[in-house]
């Protein structure tokens, strides 16, 4: 199984060190699951660190978090094609969810990953995406 964490879940782990969520991540990883983030999420995490009052510490936390993952996935042509389709549909329906979130959803779809998010209502607007919320376990 392949999972992609969205920015909200990553921020939650980094800020709160929630033992339940960390245990879920460890259990999934031990069972052979790949847990990754999109390069878009990585950029958002790095921006948050850059803008924080203690940027050095925050960058170290982001780096430490990313070391626990299977990887930071490059955002390529397949993700870009999926983004264009999804964003076009969302705009046509009058239900856009924001460019970065659409990019993350498109990336998860392009790679065949389950998107792990605490914002199911938001991402459920993207047709065909598999979602899980590890905070509600």
pTM: 0.93
Mean pLDDT within 83-97 = 96
Tell me, which fold does domain 2-132 have in CATH? Rossmann fold (3.40.50)
Closest CA to 132 of 45, 43, 17, 35: 35
Take residue 42 and report the two structure tokens written for it: 């990585």
pLDDT at 64: 92
Residue 15: CB partners within 8 Å, gap ≥ 6?
none
Which of 52, 103, 68 lies closest to 82, judged by CA? 103
Contact 135, 13 (CB under 8 A): no
Note the pLDDT tens digit of each residue in 41-61: 999 999 999 999 999 999 999
């Amino acid at each position: 199984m392949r999972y992609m964490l969205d920015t909200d879940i990553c921020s939650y782990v980094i800020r709160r060190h929630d033992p339940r969520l960390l245990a879920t991540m460890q259990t999934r990883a031990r069972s052979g699951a790949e847990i990754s983030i999109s390069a878009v999420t990585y950029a958002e995490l790095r921006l948050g660190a850059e803008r924080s009052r203690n940027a050095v510490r925050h960058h170290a936390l982001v780096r430490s978090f990313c070391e626990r993952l299977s990887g930071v996935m490059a955002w390529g042509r397949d993700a870009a094609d999926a983004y264009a389709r999804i964003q076009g549909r969302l705009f046509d329906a009058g239900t856009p969810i924001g460019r970065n979130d659409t990019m993350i959803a498109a990336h998860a779809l392009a790679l065949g990953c389950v998107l792990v998010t605490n914002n199911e209502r938001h991402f459920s607007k993207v047709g065909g995406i598999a979602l899980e919320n590890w905070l509600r376990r």
